[in-house]
Structure 1
Amino acid sequence: MSERSRVLILDFGGQYNLLIARRVRERGVYCEIKPYNTTMEEIRQFAPSGIIFTGGPSTVYEEGAPKCDPAVFEMGVPVLGICYGQQLMTLMLGGTCKAGQVREYGKAELWHNSSSLLFEGVRQQSVCWMSHTISVDQLPEGFVTSAKTKDCPTAAIENPERKLYGVQFHPEVMHTEEGTLILENFLYKICGLSSEWTMAAYSKQAIEEIRQKVGNGRVLLALSGGVDSSVAAALISQAVGNQLTCVFVDHGLLRKDEGDMVEKIMGEKFDMNIIRANVQDRFLTKLQGVTDPEQKRKIIGEEFIRVFEEESRKIGAVDFLAQGTIYPDVVESGLGKSAVIKSHHNVGGLPDHVDFKEIIEPLRLLFKDEVRALGLELGLPEELVWRQPFPGPGLAVRVIGEITADKLAILREADAIFREEIANAKLDRDINQYFAVLTNMRSVGVMGDERTYDYTLALRGVVTSDFMTADWARIPYDVLEKVSNRIVNEVPHINRIVYDITSKPPATVEWE
């Protein structure tokens, strides 16, 4: 990967910002997201081959609206402004914007000027995704209009001589039919980049960066047994070898037989130094009576850190704490001006005093499918890399309401049956995440001519490319029927099964 084969994404706080990065990476181009107020010194040091301005919730005219340094336009580097990014570019270069007579939100027919390099190969009429009330009115000097919709005459603008481009719609979302090609045109034809970003290149770079950062220090890894922490363990192990100690916290919130499997694969197969801390009773005591999901996450996050501190004292001086944080964790815990949707134990809930010099998060810029690809690159077995995603707080956020040992036992058995039947139906690679949730709702049922009053179990399955958005999985009825029959017959205290058909948004993938 050449030094300048990279794109800088300036973040103005929009909801699709992470998707822009994901789409750029899918095109084989490395990119990073940085805040809109990143200094010119930092931008020049990053040395991008192209810059993308994201959308954002602000109005360009309002006081305190986010603005970047105008010197970015003098770098001679191609710039693509998306939605708010187009409006900001317009305003900063001498044009004007105004509120539209009609608010555009959702799908719109887009017509483009076929002479624009940005739209080369794009159908002259296609569907795009709009989300705006403000649009460009007067173009800056040197700019021309290159696309329009019924209600937006400036759906795309450009100054090809200066390689400055703007689109009012969102090319990064799947609803924009030709969005992928539009982004490719910007990256390949306008920025002159090629597809060089691979997990092989990332692995090599990350291993070297970890070596330099750690030096002769010792690393303690929070090994949860999930895909993310396992890949992080393999990556750091290749970088620093036996300087890494993995602490596997068995907090009693894992799936059926998970603890033994994790210890066997990561310890025996990869010869990692693993300490297993069996602290089930400790966590259950801390969680007794707690029903609020955010409080659960904070308690679990703090206890994780406390356990690591205790284990680190047993093994001697430890300089770094490593975590398997990935991009969706970061954005859902609050990135820049984005609202906090839910905190994650590995990015939120850290105590004020942590007995480590620094935290290492080598997967922080990767999406889930990139993490899996990296795991295979590092030699992890497919059965581990393709395991179902599992939240850091474990089954604590899949038991609604108070957590008890009995509820956890019920959920483990039901979840295991669900996962087994999905695999038997050969749907395990088609459904990106699927699991069971034990609700705190009880209802009347009939079993063996007797009245029952037991728990309702919810099943959840989603399909997604990046976990930033997701659609509910259309699991065949016969599979759902078999799962339901097995659970009510084999698992005590469940007499009703429901299937969650809500997409993300408005819901999240997890229930809590």
Structure 2
Amino acid sequence: MQEKILILDFGSQFTQLIARRVRELNIYCEIHPFNKIPEIDESLKGVILSGSPYSVRQEDALHVDFMQFHGKLPLLGVCYGAQYLAHFNGGEVLPSSTREYGRANLQYIQEGNPLFRGVPAGSQVWMSHGDTIATLASNFEVIASTDSVRVAAYQVTGTQTYGIQFHPEVTHSLDGKQLLENFLVDICGCKQDWTADSFVETTVAGLKEKLGDDKVVLGLSGGVDSSVAAVLLHHAIGKNLYCIFVDNGLLRKNEYESVLDSYKHMGLNVRGIDAKQRFYDALKGLSEPEAKRKAIGRVFIEVFDDAAHEVKDVKWLGQGTIYPDVIESLSVKGPSATIKSHHNVGGLPDFMKLKVVEPLNTLFKDEVRRVGKSLHISDNILGRHPFPGPGLAIRILGEVTPEKVAILQEADAIFINNLRSAGVYDKVWQAGTIFLPVQSVGVMGDERTYEHVVSLRAVESVDGMTADWCHLPYELLAKISNEIINNVKGINRVVYDISSKPPATIEWE
């Protein structure tokens, strides 16, 4: 049984970052809302309580039944988690006299405390809280302080329960990784054996047991997630996997043909379906982003369902859902506010009558790539930039038409080809061209033009949860702009998007 760490989410913007830091130490962890604690079994090695935008002093403070862990499993409270354990165990949390935000230094560390093994006095940490722990119960002891925060960290005497007022998961806490490793390895006793190879071995074995001789259909997109999911399933059930690649008319230039060709060499059973016109018809007259997503999702399901019915006795639908999709569909107070519809989260229409198998739904994107390498999938596929499920429909702001798609495909191909030839494609997390719903005045030769505008978007990221815009060389941007304007009829202006996520998103819709 795979050992794991449970992270209880109180709504902090950093919760997923805690999970990433745990995973980087080759330790498996799961995030669950504080009020939806999963069944506890012997695989659980420890529990981390996250931070929160809430205050423990509020009437509607978020409450968790931590007594089921306290004294039985190692427990680490971070920020709100630390304040919660202190406040509801005889201590007191009060508003800070000044907001404690930013870099601080640990001036005092209790000698020999296992949580701080290898963390030097003066170590820089990152604070982010409006409340402070004013007093502790008699059975709590201070184990670290800064100049302005007396209770920067504490331990419940004689137990493996700890609280820290700072955030070890952010890079500004310079020894945060060491502290987490101390908690996870020294205190929780985790073996650090969760690797890409071990994931492949246990997942393929689990799929064999789960699926037996059943048939599975899977919609391939040409992207990393669906490709890795397909190869994992192929390793488990071989010829009983039926892959379907739908051309929705919203792919990159020549992508349908090139993707089908790349799959030929992977031993997968793939069928391509040209359904461009069905998607264009469904998108006619739609300009609102969510309406476009829903129309695409509906037609995809119809096309996919028709193809799936041609496979006799199919019982399962395979999907490339990854962990951020799952997390974003949950929240600490019930269903999350809709940022966007995920085409692969939230179930299927009843008429499909298929059970769902999602072999990647515990992995972040970079972990999916590592698993793909372990499966010997080519870099040509693993190195592909993420591409939205609805394709170019959400990179065309406003109504989608075949003419706009053709213009955007040409401009986007010039952008991507230049990134490749300049040797920067692999340094960019995701890049794409956005067709804007405005026209601008230009001059070409002696003629005045009134044509379309496109925006180039290129971001750096690790997992897509946060992203910064790429500082591409001006010379490269100038070359791309000139090539697009000179070669793509209908475009006379190119702009570059310099927004980061947050507050913006990677895609415009």
User: 1 CA distance for matches of 2:354 and 2:11?
Assistant: 31
Aligned-residue offset at 1:195: 2.6
User: 2 CA distance for matches of 1:112 and 1:465?
Assistant: 34
Q: 1:70·1:92 contact (CA, 8 Å) conserved in 2?
A: no
Any residues of structure 2 matched to 1:293-372 within 5 Å, and which? 293-337=289-333, 338-348=336-346, 352-372=349-369
Aligned-residue offset at 1:105: 3.5
Name 1:24's counterpart in structure 2: 22
Cα pair distance change 1:405/1:150, threshold 3 Å: farther
Cα pair distance change 1:505/1:39, threshold 3 Å: closer
Q: 2:71·2:160 contact (CA, 8 Å) conserved in 1?
A: no
User: 2 CA distance for matches of 1:12 and 1:61?
Assistant: 14
RMSD: 2.0
Q: Deviations over 1:470-492 (max 9, x none)?
A: 11111111111111111111111
Name 1:200's counterpart in structure 2: 197
User: 2 CA distance for matches of 1:214 and 1:75?
Assistant: 40
TM-score, length of structure 1 as denominator length = 0.93
Answering whether residue 75 of structure 2 is matched by residue 76 of structure 1, we say no
Q: 1:333·1:343 contact (CA, 8 Å) conserved in 2?
A: no
Cα pair distance change 1:339/1:145, threshold 3 Å: farther
Q: 2:219·2:245 contact (CA, 8 Å) conserved in 1?
A: yes
Name 1:438's counterpart in structure 2: 435
Aligned counterpart for 2:258 among listed residues 255, 258, 261: 261
Q: Deviations over 1:266-325 (max 9, x none)?
A: 2x2122222222111111111112111122222222222222221121222321111111
User: 1 CA distance for matches of 2:211 and 2:276?
Assistant: 32
Aligned-residue offset at 1:70: 3.1
Letter in 2 for 1:302: R
For the residue of structure 1 that corresponds to 2:314, the secondary structure is coil
User: 1 CA distance for matches of 2:351 and 2:317?
Assistant: 9
Aligned-residue offset at 1:395: 0.9
User: 2 CA distance for matches of 1:498 and 1:108?
Assistant: 40
Aligned-residue offset at 1:369: 0.9
Aligned-residue offset at 1:159: 2.7
User: 2 CA distance for matches of 1:398 and 1:287?
Assistant: 14
Q: Deviations over 1:192-230 (max 9, x none)?
A: 324311111111111122222222321111211111111
Aligned counterpart for 1:399 among listed residues 396, 399, 406: 396
Tell me whether 46-55 or 239-248 shows the greater mean CA deviation.
46-55
Aligned counterpart for 2:159 among listed residues 143, 162, 176: 162
Q: 1:145·1:154 contact (CA, 8 Å) conserved in 2?
A: yes
Letter in 2 for 1:275: R
Any residues of structure 2 matched to 1:152-191 within 5 Å, and which? 152-159=149-156, 161-191=158-188
Name 1:9's counterpart in structure 2: 7
User: 2 CA distance for matches of 1:188 and 1:160?
Assistant: 20
User: 1 CA distance for matches of 2:387 and 2:428?
Assistant: 14
Letter in 2 for 1:79: L
Aligned counterpart for 1:33 among listed residues 31, 34, 47: 31
Name 1:277's counterpart in structure 2: 273
TM-score, length of structure 2 as denominator length = 0.94
Q: 2:127·2:166 contact (CA, 8 Å) conserved in 1?
A: yes
Q: 2:408·2:435 contact (CA, 8 Å) conserved in 1?
A: yes
User: 1 CA distance for matches of 2:272 and 2:372?
Assistant: 22
User: 2 CA distance for matches of 1:487 and 1:109?
Assistant: 51
Tell me whether 299-308 or 25-34 shows the greater mean CA deviation.
299-308
User: 1 CA distance for matches of 2:206 and 2:423?
Assistant: 39
Aligned-residue offset at 1:409: 0.9
Q: 1:297·1:393 contact (CA, 8 Å) conserved in 2?
A: yes
Name 2:224's counterpart in structure 1: 227
Aligned counterpart for 2:453 among listed residues 449, 456, 472: 456
Any residues of structure 2 matched to 1:91-110 within 5 Å, and which? 91-110=87-106
Aligned-residue offset at 1:494: 1.3
Aligned-residue offset at 1:162: 0.7
Tell me whether 105-114 or 74-83 shows the greater mean CA deviation.
105-114
User: 1 CA distance for matches of 2:108 and 2:35?
Assistant: 32
Letter in 1 for 2:80: Y
Q: 1:302·1:351 contact (CA, 8 Å) conserved in 2?
A: no
User: 1 CA distance for matches of 2:289 and 2:329?
Assistant: 14
Cα pair distance change 1:111/1:403, threshold 3 Å: farther
Q: Moved runs in structure 1, 4+ residues, more than 6 A?
A: none
Cα pair distance change 1:27/1:452, threshold 3 Å: same
Letter in 2 for 1:308: F
Name 2:467's counterpart in structure 1: 470
Q: Deviations over 1:64-105 (max 9, x none)?
A: 433332333445321111111112222343322222222233
Cα pair distance change 1:36/1:445, threshold 3 Å: same
User: 1 CA distance for matches of 2:122 and 2:337?
Assistant: 35
| Runs of 5+ consecutive residues of structure 1 not aligned to the other structure | none
Answering whether residue 55 of structure 2 is matched by residue 59 of structure 1, we say yes
| Runs of 5+ consecutive residues of structure 2 not aligned to the other structure | none
For the residue of structure 2 that corresponds to 1:315, the secondary structure is coil
Cα pair distance change 1:444/1:180, threshold 3 Å: same
